[in-house]
Amino acid sequence: SNQEMLDTLRDTVVTQNINGCAEATQAALDAGLSAVEIINDGLSPGMKIVGDKFEAAEIYLPQIMMSAKAMNAAMELLLPVLEEEKGDTEGVGTAITYVQEGDIHDIGHRLVTTMLEANGFKIVDMGVDVPNEKVAETVAQNKDKKLLLVGSALMTTSMLGQKDTVAMLAEEGLRDSVKIMFGGAPVSDAWIAEIGADATAENAADAARVALSLM
């Protein structure tokens, strides 16, 4: 059943089964599950379990890295599928996507970036570990476009840099040229309100919905 397939996807991430994860992903695609379901209901719950186990000191960094590899093996199959699912919403705006300085967690960032592209956004992907100066510079270069800034932070430490991003854009007179959406596990609605950003989202599918509603 579909639920069994989703459970298998989750378990292959948790057990660091790289080949098994790619195989289970292909099997789920062949059975007609959507890329979004596979990610949100299969792989991501697996990553959540991995994070919880790490926090409880039940597993260590090498295991997390193998789980991330398993997830990446699945993403190699899923990213082209997500891109194919592109709608006819071309021209909704330009999204500058990045991961905050000091942070190299890029799995969620890549998922969100791909989902935005699939929903008609033109993408400027700045990658990981991006200093705020570079963010402000890129916003300035694109300020005449319908613009959305999409930042990710997976650590409570790197998340603090999001506050500086908003402050720097305000100082440089750029805050009104851009909508700002921040996400990543530690980001909450309260944080978004505190730092004066515009929105957050739970997952990549939600991020696309929120992004469209902001434009």
Considering the complex, what minimum distance in angstroms separates the CB of residue 13 from ligand HCB?
9
- Which stretch, 23-31, 82-90, 107-115, 163-171, contacts ligand HCB (CB under 6 A)? 107-115
Considering the complex, what minimum distance in angstroms separates the CB of residue 112 from ligand HCB?
5
Considering the complex, what minimum distance in angstroms separates the CB of residue 143 from ligand HCB?
19
Considering the complex, what minimum distance in angstroms separates the CB of residue 171 from ligand HCB?
22
Phi and psi of 99, rounded to 5°?
-110, 140
Q: What's the rounded Cα separation, in Å, for the pair 177 and 93?
A: 12
HSE value, Cβ hemisphere, 13 Å, CA-based, for 164: 14
- Which stretch, 25-33, 77-85, 135-143, 203-211, contacts ligand HCB (CB under 6 A)? 203-211
Q: What is the sign of the dihedral through the CA atoms of 23, 152, 119 and 95?
A: negative
Pick 88 or 191: Cβ nearer ligand HCB: 191
DSSP for residue 175: G
Q: What are 179's strand-pairing partners?
A: 148
Tokens of 2: 């579909």
Note whether 46 binds ligand HCB by CB under 6 A. Answer: no
* Radius of gyration for the chain, computed over Cα atoms and rounded to the nearest angstrom: 17
Considering the complex, what minimum distance in angstroms separates the CB of residue 148 from ligand HCB?
9
Do 138 and 96 contact (CB within 8 A), yes or no?
Answer: yes
Residues 135-164 that bind ligand HCB (CB under 6 A): 150, 152, 154-157
Do 141 and 171 contact (CB within 8 A), yes or no?
Answer: no
Residues lying near ligand HCB in the complex (CB under 6 A) are found at 44, 47-48, 50-51, 54-55, 61, 64-65, 68, 102-109, 111-112, 150, 152, 154-157, 181-186, 200-201, 203-204, 207
